[in-house]
Amino acid sequence: MMNFNKMMPLIAGLLFGMGMVISGMADPAKVIGFLDVAGNWDPSLAFVMGGALLVFTPMYHWVIKPRQQALDNTKLCIPTNKKIDKKLIAGAALFGIGWGIAGVCPGPAISSLSGFNIGILAFVAAMIFGMVLTTKIFKRS
């Protein structure tokens, strides 16, 4: 029988994916409605994000942070860079622009792959291409 700790990533991924779909975060029209604060604004996703924080925050402080390791006993890789630089600002801006245009970001896009929507498949392919290209560009510099 498989070790429970080795099953946790699968269980967490399934819960995350189901949460994305059930909450509407995987629906580009719903996301664009949330981002359209000057037009027909739909604030419901703020409750989804707030609810996620209400669940995650105590779990982080009571379970994750004290352990300082993942369930498979590997050390957590917590970023130590606290510098806000041009690269961070440019990346955040590109992420936000892409999210605003398409209404899709990486997590919900992965959750939506099972629907075989051509737009989502194209988004994920372009996202992977962009990640590979950016990695190659920054390795040169």
* The residue to which tokens 């209404």 are assigned: 103
pTM for this structure? Answer: 0.69
Which pLDDT tens digit goes with each residue over 10-61?
A: 888 888 888 888 988 888 899 899 988 999 899 999 999 999 999 999 988 9
How far apart are alpha carbons 17 and 132 in whole angstroms? 24
Q: Which residues have a Cβ under 8 Å from the Cβ of 35 and sit 6 or more positions away?
A: 99, 100, 103
Cβ neighbour number for residue 124 with a 10 Å cutoff: 16
Q: Are the C-beta atoms of 12 and 95 separated by less than 8 Å?
A: no
